[in-house]
Structure 1
Amino acid sequence: MRMINLDGKVAVVTGGSAGIGLATVELLLEAGAAVALCGRNAERLALAEAGLRQRFPDSRILSAVCDVLAPQQVRDFAAQVEQALGTVSILINNAGQGRISTFADTDDAAWLEELQLKFFSVIHPTRAFLPQLQRAPDAAVVCVNSLLAVQPEPHMVATSAARAGVHNLVRALATEFSVDQIRVNGILIGLVESGQWRRRYEARPDQERALSWQQWTAQLAQKKQIQLGRLGLPEEAARAIVFLATPLSSYTTGSHIDVSGGLSRHA
């Protein structure tokens, strides 16, 4: 039984070929939406699309290689989606990994790269799809953000600062877009299982080689003081995203849902 019926709705998920993005695409398709996903890696995107079409053979799916930092590519993607699927009413901005660096070892180029990625991965898609969202009923934008936005880490100084800016941007957009009845919200994720964590697991030091993935992540959760004692799953973040993207949260805008398993220490 569907939690919500999204038949006739068109959704877009950036960074949709893996992880939280792909899990979100799957939930939207399960609810009946037509979904467009994009990513920069053509091979990974093709694999994701093939899997989705096998699982959802009757669904309307569009995938496209698109760099969200390239404004013309994003505009072209927006036009392609509208022509193929119809007017977009749900936009999920989901792109960008974290940069490990302290203030001492982050040069100007690294600062600019991180700020550009975090801000313009939201700005370009939102700008490109805004005309469609303005025409759609129950329109919503959801930005995937990190707990670092409100709980910065000194070893991720540039990412923490950029994430805080996106947190503020969500609130500003919610205010500006309210005149068009477009809701804008975000989620704040903690440690969620991903390819990045898998790579760290594969590169673990010799003294940790005997640990299984479950043991290693449980140890990591204990070290980070995650109250639920484990890393989150992509689908757990995706459920929060879909809640915010649909009329299930029809009276919520300018807000963020904490999806961190108790890692959060902010008020």
Structure 2
Amino acid sequence: METPVSGTRLENKVAIITGGAGGIGSAAGRIFCNEGAKVALIDRDPDVIDAAVEGIRRQVAGAQVMGVVADVGEEGAAQVAVDAVLKKFGGIDVLVNNVGIRRYEAVADAPWDAWDDILRVNLLSFVSMARAALPALRRSGRGSIINVSSTGAVYGRKGMGAYDASKAAVLALTRTMAFEEGEHGVRVNTICPGYTRTPFHVNRMGNEAVDALVPPCVLQRWGTPDELAYPMLWLASDEASYVTSATFMIDGGFPAEGGGTAVRTKL
């Protein structure tokens, strides 16, 4: 069922969202469109990105949304994607670096090519997209870059060394870019999602297992993609015009009980 564009918080803004076909990325695309933005979703799979674009058009009447197929871990592909957005929408005001891949392996066990893949996608794609989009973001005079990291960047855990290291690097990249780009009117911030019920986790674990798992956070439940996208909406808007170089933990109060990271299941 379509809902007409109902807000103006991003009116006249153009936003790029990488990983735009995923749960958080597509939720952000829908919410941004519903607040008046023109949105470009970028992902590697043409079928999935087409489905995400069509889903937004079905839900938001009058949505101005486009899909771009690109592997933005390659610098040249990032520039091609940005050029396509500029040709279609004429500018860029918001860049959401949301794309990410993960592997579940200890540092001692992860093959070297896994490190290469994860760092290329989870870190270097953020660099390639920022470098390609910065001229337009600077011209905007009110540019906002939102980098999606992870609670794993802050809290230690077993079995995800490459992923957590890449996400920790995103925090450092955010702070450096905030200092470099402040004079150009571009704000740079990070959100760190906690346990979020995305199609990725449901496909990996199954609905029953996801329902049974109680995340180790104060709220003792999974977050929804929308609950991650709304903080992005605020950071993208002029309401956050005095916010830069910040890290926001969107995690339900994680970790609970003195810093432990163990999860439990419902009885």
Could you state the TM-score of these two structures normalised by the residue count of structure 1? 0.89
Relative distance call for 1:18 and 1:160 in structure 2 (3 A) is closer
Q: Does 1:75 align with 2:68?
A: no
Task: Give the superposition deviation at 1:155.
Answer: 1.1
Whether 1:61 aligns to 2:65 is: yes
1:225 aligned onto 2:229:
no
> In the alignment, is residue 30 of structure 1 matched against residue 21 of structure 2?
no
| Secondary structure of 1:167 counterpart | helix
Distance of 1:251 and 1:77 partners within structure 2: 29
Aligned residues: 253
Alpha-carbon offset, residue 249 of structure 1: 1.1
**Which residue of 1 is the match for residue 187 of structure 2?**
183
Residue of structure 1 in register with 2:240 after alignment = 249
Structure 1 residue 55, shift from structure 2 partner: 2.5
SS in 1 for 2:25: helix
**Equivalent residue number for residue 199 of structure 2:** 195
CA deviation after TM superposition for structure 1 residue 8, in Å: 1.3
Between the two proteins, what is the percent identity of the paired residues? Answer: 30
Structure 2: 5+ residue runs without aligned partners? 260-267
Q: What is the match of residue 7 of structure 1? A: 11
The separation in 1 between residues aligned to 2:81 and 2:216, in whole angstroms, is 41
5 Å matches for 1:1-267?
Answer: 4-202=8-206, 213=208, 216-221=209-214, 224-264=215-255
**Structure 1 contact 186–255 (Cα < 8 Å) conserved:** yes
Question: Is this contact kept in 2: 1:40–1:66, CA < 8 A?
Answer: yes
C-alpha separation between the residues in 2 aligned to 1:39 and 1:171?
25
* Deviation (angstroms), 1:4: 4.7
Per the TM alignment, residue 57 of structure 1 is displaced from its structure 2 partner at its CA by: 3.6
The superposition leaves residues 41-100 of structure 1 with CA deviations (integer Å, 9 ceiling, x where unpaired) of: 111111111122222342322111111112222111111111111110111001113221
Could you say what secondary structure the match of 2:249 adopts? strand
- Post-superposition offset of 1:2: 5.5
In structure 2, what residue type is equivalent to 1:128?
A: A
Shift of 1:201: 2.5
| SS of corresponding position for 2:88 | helix
Name the SS for the 2:242 alignment partner.
coil
Q: CA separation in 2, counterparts of 1:122 and 1:152?
A: 23
Q: CA deviation at 1:3?
A: 6.1
Q: Distance in 1 between matches of 2:227 and 2:7?
A: 15
Paired residues of 1:138 and 1:246 also in contact (CA < 8 A): no
Cα distance in 2 for partners of 1:15, 1:103 equals 25
RMSD: 1.7
Structure 1 unaligned segments of length 5 or more: list them.
203-211
Residue deviations 1:156-199 (CA, integer Å, cap 9, x gap): 11111111111111011000001101000010011101222112
Contact 1:138 1:181 in 2 (8 A): yes
C-alpha contact 1:218 1:230 (8 A) present in aligned 2: no
Q: CA deviation at 1:107?
A: 2.7
